[in-house]
Amino acid sequence: MKKAIWVLFLIAWSSAFLPALMAQQPGQVQGTVEDPHRAPVAQASVKLIPQPTGTALKTVTDEAGHFVFTEVAAGEYLMQVKMQGFEKAELQLKVGSSPTPAQRVRLKVATVTEEITVSARSADPTAPDQNTTAVDLDHDLLRSLPAKNDNPLAVASLFVDPAANGAEGTKIVVDGVEGDQLDVPLSSVKSISVNKNPYSTEFGRPGKGRIEVVTRGGSIRRFHRRFSFTFRDASMDARNAFAAVRGPRRRELFEGSIDGPLVRDKVTFFLGGEYLKDDDTAFTNAITPSGPLIENLGIPRRTPRLFGRMDFRLTPLQILSVRYNWSRDSLPNQGVGAFDLPERAWNQTKETHEVRISETAIPSANFSNEVRFDFRSRAKEIRSVSDAAAILVLGAFNSGGGQNSLHDAENAVDFQDLVSYIHGKHTFRFGAIVKSRLSDFSDRSNFGGTFTFSDLASLASKQPFQFTAKQGDPRVSFNQHEFAYFFQDEIRLWPRFGLLLGLRHELQSNLHYYKNLAP
């Protein structure tokens, strides 16, 4: 009897208190996030915020746009859904004893706004680096200007003063490092300047004796892709006066580049390249013992170039740049045409590798430091198609071997450390430059000899009037090390009047003369 009464008591107690216990158990909130076209949105941030206060619950949607919160206490909540490119969505919901309906959140596409501030700044004609007689060619202008063989320096070379070149010719300064040629694709050139700062002691040549080239870097936030193809052929060409028929000619140039961020706001890259395919024609018009000879001979050219650059923003005021460029110029069947027969041809190849590392730091508002390291390896080879002795018949034809054999290799290392400091009316710039050249040169031209005949009759009788040949050791190797340091002070005496003072000292390992001071 007592046992039955106890069972009835438990049943009555459960009936009275079980609904209250069930109401206090945690609930579950789930749903899906969709875009305006009802496609699921993955990786959207979903936050459940208790009202009026409490600890928020967070999760993200899966690939199907689904999300779920488990063990959610009863009460009122504010649910927020965020996703890049969409407007934030908010909705109120209540979690109680009954199951919470599945939520379907449809996001709206966010409105894209961009603000660009352009501020005008008048040029300062007294600033040394804003010379009014300077020639500045930006990338867009370079592409639109007609240039022979698509050489970016063809137009800039017109503004160089031959009197300022010296015996070594025009200096090509690429990103602050001096050289004697430009081996990068046109797509990677940002600007070219001549006579930008004519009196700067940073360089060993005056402004009109050098061409300054700045290469392009990658975009910080957007990707850019460019590709172009240009060609020309002989369909509109006239026949050469010394040729029997119009020779075939076709020239094709492929260019392309891509740049953008590798790590947003931290690492950028730029990759550019070009390939030149030029099928030109040489015209031979000679008189041989067998009679007149008129023919066309193809002289193809193949020139690929590659340029790559990466910029690392170590800090907002410190940038590390690494760049590499490679080029190869292949020119077979050179030296033929006119009186020179095809057997006189010689082949030429030139190849260049260059690696450069530079670091720019601005520790304070009035102090900056630039460090550059550059390594270049260049090789040039010329080889005759035939090693036979050359035969020259004046006014008739030239046959035999081309007697051209040359090997020219050079490894160059450049190191620069440049400092700029501003103090009051003074802008100081000083630094040091170290250059090393390791050259290996060999010239075996005309080692096989050259017979010269006055006419066809002397050739038939085998009576040359001249024979020349070179002998000896054709190889020479040497090293040259150069060191230079400079100091200059730009003094702004008045807003429209300035004074530039500077001194440069250059030293060479092969010349034991150390008084090369230049004001």
Predicted confidence (pLDDT) per residue in 274-303, tens digit: 999 999 888 899 999 999 998 888 899 999
Same domain, 6 and 100: yes
**Residue 4 clears pLDDT 60, i.e. is over it:** no
Query: Is the Cβ–Cβ distance between 274 and 244 less than 8 Å?
Result: no
**Residue 397 clears pLDDT 80, i.e. is over it:** yes
Q: Could you tell me if residue 82 is inside a domain? A: yes
Same domain, 71 and 144: no
pLDDT at 128: 56
Same domain, 47 and 100: yes
- 180 falls in which pLDDT band (50, 70, 90)? confident
What's the mean pLDDT in 480-492? 93
Same domain, 52 and 90: yes
Q: Which of 283, 212, 301 is nearest to 245 (CA)?
A: 283
Q: Which of 367, 273, 379, 371 is nearest to 322 (CA)?
A: 371
Count the helices and strands in the chain (H runs, E runs).
4, 28
Of 185, 209, 233, the position where a domain reaches its end is 209
Tally of domains within the chain: 2
Q: Could you tell me if residue 114 is inside a domain? A: no
β-partners of residue 485 are: 432, 505
Rounded to the nearest integer, the mean pLDDT of the chain is: 85
**Residue 326 clears pLDDT 50, i.e. is over it:** yes
Q: Cα–Cα distance between 325 and 177 in angstroms, integer?
A: 14
Q: Could you tell me if residue 386 is inside a domain? A: no
Q: Could you tell me if residue 171 is inside a domain? A: yes
Q: Could you tell me if residue 511 is inside a domain? A: no
Spacing of C-alpha 472 from chain mean position: 44
Q: Cα–Cα distance between 32 and 63 in angstroms, integer?
A: 10
**The dihedral formed by the CA atoms of 232, 237, 240 and 241, expressed in degrees to the nearest 10:** -160
pLDDT at 163: 65
Reported as a single tens digit per residue, the pLDDT across 67-90 is 998 888 888 888 999 998 889 999
- Residue type, position 481, single letter: H
**How many Cα atoms sit within 13 Å of 61 on the Cβ side?**
25
38: left (phi over 0), alpha (psi -120 to 50) or beta: left
Of 209, 228, 260, the position where a domain reaches its end is 209
Looking only at the bridges linking them, the beta strands covering 346-364 and 318-334 are antiparallel
Same domain, 58 and 102: yes
Q: Could you tell me if residue 141 is inside a domain? A: yes
Same domain, 193 and 156: yes
**Percent of the chain residues past pLDDT 70, beyond the cut:** 88
CA distance readout (Å), 9 to 308, 368, 376 = 86, 88, 97
**How many Cα atoms sit within 13 Å of 435 on the Cβ side?**
19
Which residue range is the domain that position 60 belongs to?
2-106
Q: Could you tell me if residue 228 is inside a domain? A: no
| Cα radius of gyration (the chain) | 38
Of 54, 71, 106, the position where a domain reaches its end is 106
pLDDT at 125: 53
Same domain, 73 and 40: yes
Same domain, 27 and 93: yes
Q: Which of 318, 323, 195, 198 is nearest to 270 (CA)?
A: 323
Q: Write the CATH number for 66.
A: 2.60.40.10
- 123 falls in which pLDDT band (50, 70, 90)? low
Q: Cα–Cα distance between 70 and 48 in angstroms, integer?
A: 11
- 140 falls in which pLDDT band (50, 70, 90)? confident
Q: Cα–Cα distance between 459 and 128 in angstroms, integer?
A: 66
CA angle 347, 276, 406 (to 5 degrees): 20
Q: Could you tell me if residue 291 is inside a domain? A: no
Same domain, 152 and 98: no
Query: Is the Cβ–Cβ distance between 403 and 391 less than 8 Å?
Result: no
Q: Which of 36, 43, 47 is nearest to 62 (CA)?
A: 43
Collapsing DSSP to helix, strand or coil, 139 comes out as helix
Reported as a single tens digit per residue, the pLDDT across 249-271 is 889 999 999 999 998 889 999 99
Same domain, 173 and 83: no
Same domain, 13 and 74: yes
Same domain, 43 and 100: yes
Better-scored residue on pLDDT, 463 or 191? 463
Peptide bond into 52 cis (omega under 30): yes
Query: Is the Cβ–Cβ distance between 286 and 396 less than 8 Å?
Result: yes
**Residue 487 clears pLDDT 90, i.e. is over it:** yes
- Give every CB contact of residue 286 below 8 A, 6+ residues apart in sequence: 292, 293, 338, 339, 340, 341, 396, 397, 398
